[in-house]
Amino acid sequence: MENESNDKNSFTDFFSDRAAASKGRVFILDLSPVQDQLKERWERLKGQVYATAKDVIDHRIRPDDVYCQWDEKNYLIAFGALDEARARIKINLIAQEITQRLLGSPDPQNAITVTMATADENGHFFWQKDTDPSKLVEEEENPLAPIKQEDTRNTQALVHQDVEFIFRPLWFVKNKIISSYFCIPVRPQGSGRFLSSYNVLSDHLNPVAVEALDLLTMKRIFVEASKLDEIKNPALLTVPIHFESIASTGRRSILLKQCQKNLAPHRGRIVVELTHLPDGIPQSRLQDLIQALKPFSRAVMARFDSMHRDFAGYKHVGLHAVGVDLYDDRRSEVKIMNDMELFAASAAKHGLHTYVHGVRSISLTTAAICSGIDYVDGYAITDVQEGARDVKYYSIRMPYAAKYSEAKE
């Protein structure tokens, strides 16, 4: 109990030092869904549940963040240097990883919940021994952030203000290393859930909005690449570019101008991922797109539907790899696994590397590896500088060792 008291004292110190900056950056993680699923096994396994939660939190927080276990089911976490938007992204990533490691891929309604802690107008958070944590939180209403009402010629006017970016480390199965990171736009939806990729847009069918998001993503890539250059980190960064952003002559000129500005200075570490290519796109058309993007990257990959099978000629026109995004695929895992196996086999016939991202469970990760997929992504991070630890940290054995259901009696 002495350690618990010290942790709570750290929280008190945190708020006294950062009173003006604390609002919107303090959260509670509720492990009740885990207890509900374990039922009578909770008492026997809760120590291992706590060990997993601690492992995830310790890995993701920084020296100026603090956290403590408030009671049997609740953890308090405060971020010292992040603004509210980045803090919400990070707490959702923490909740998502704990949920996946403890519950596999549960119904989102049963995921570990995230709530925002309250503080007074000075940012002080009051600790009282008998205080019920449920009285100290405000449930997220998750309203849509207003779209900026600016001139529509401003590309950011079509993208919600609360769009942020995460990076998913891509694990090279054969060599067991992580050297590349997908940049993915997200909008937090509470309780460890996100809108992801082009779904962050109010109208993901509007080509102007799609291009606006691509331009914003490139700007984020430039910032991240510049930071990595400063610390001499050799990580590769993958930037998505939608077919609609480069399909028409008018939009292509705008996109390529941004590529020259944001991608070209870091060409040696940039990989482009072409997304939403139309079915049956002619090889000549695909080659034209690849050649337009090659001057700004070391390689070009393309994302397809998991049921795509015809990859003839793709390697000859310059594609390095083909892949799928499973994040929003809510079909049964058996159907997804069958498609992955056929996808990998079809691509292998034509000498193409394969990848999957948005993997959300241990079973899907295992199936991807067994089906012959070359690259599988891992738990998301908020910036690639965290990834230096992930190269060592992300092992295929790790999720199995941590999963409570496999605990020894």
Model confidence pLDDT, tens digit, residues 278-321 = 877 888 888 999 999 999 999 999 998 888 888 888 888 889 99
Q: What is the mean pLDDT of the chain?
A: 77
> What is the distance between the alpha carbons of residues 321 and 104, in angstroms, rounded to a whole number?
28
Q: In the predicted model, what is the mean pLDDT of residues 381-390?
A: 66
Percent of the chain topping pLDDT 90: 18
Q: Which among 3-7, 282-286, 362-366 has the top mean pLDDT?
A: 282-286
Query: Per-residue pLDDT for 247 more than 60?
Result: yes
| pLDDT the model gives residue 190 | 61
Residue 121 is encoded by which pair of tokens? Answer: 């107008």
What is the rounded CA–CA span in Å between residue 207 and residue 157? Answer: 14
- Please tell me the predicted confidence (pLDDT) of residue 249: 78
Q: Please, which pLDDT band fits residue 125 given cuts at 50, 70 and 90?
A: low
pTM exceeds 0.95 for this model: no
Comparing 354 with 70, which gets the higher pLDDT? 354
Q: How far is CA 176 from CA 22, 169, 200, 397, in A?
A: 40, 12, 32, 11
Cβ density class 366-377: b for 16+ within 10 Å, e for less = bbbbebebbbbb
At 128 the pLDDT is 44
Greater model confidence, 14 or 52: 52
Q: 155-378 domain in CATH 3.20.20.450? A: yes
- Taking 90 as the threshold, does the pLDDT of residue 159 lie above it? no
pLDDT of 105 reads 56
Mean per-residue pLDDT, 125-136: 45
Output the pLDDT for position 137: 44
Query: Could you tell me which of 17, 142, 114, 5 has the C-alpha nearest to residue 57?
Result: 114
Say what the pLDDT of residue 108 is.
Answer: 55
What pLDDT was estimated at residue 213? 92
Whether the pLDDT of residue 142 is over 50: the answer is no
Confidence of residue 150 (pLDDT cuts 50, 70, 90): very low
- Given this model, what pLDDT does residue 2 score? 45
**Where do the structural domains in the chain lie, given as residue ranges?**
2-138, 155-378
Q: How many CB atoms lie within 10 A of CB 293?
A: 21
Q: Are 327 and 319 in contact (CB under 8 A)?
A: no
Which pLDDT value is given to residue 216?
A: 92
Neighbours of 207 (CB within 10 A): 15
pLDDT grade, residue 403 (50/70/90)? very low
- Better-scored residue on pLDDT, 243 or 26: 243
Mean pLDDT computed over 203-223: 89
* Residue 4: predicted pLDDT: 53
Topology (CATH) of 2-138: Alpha-Beta Plaits (3.30.70)
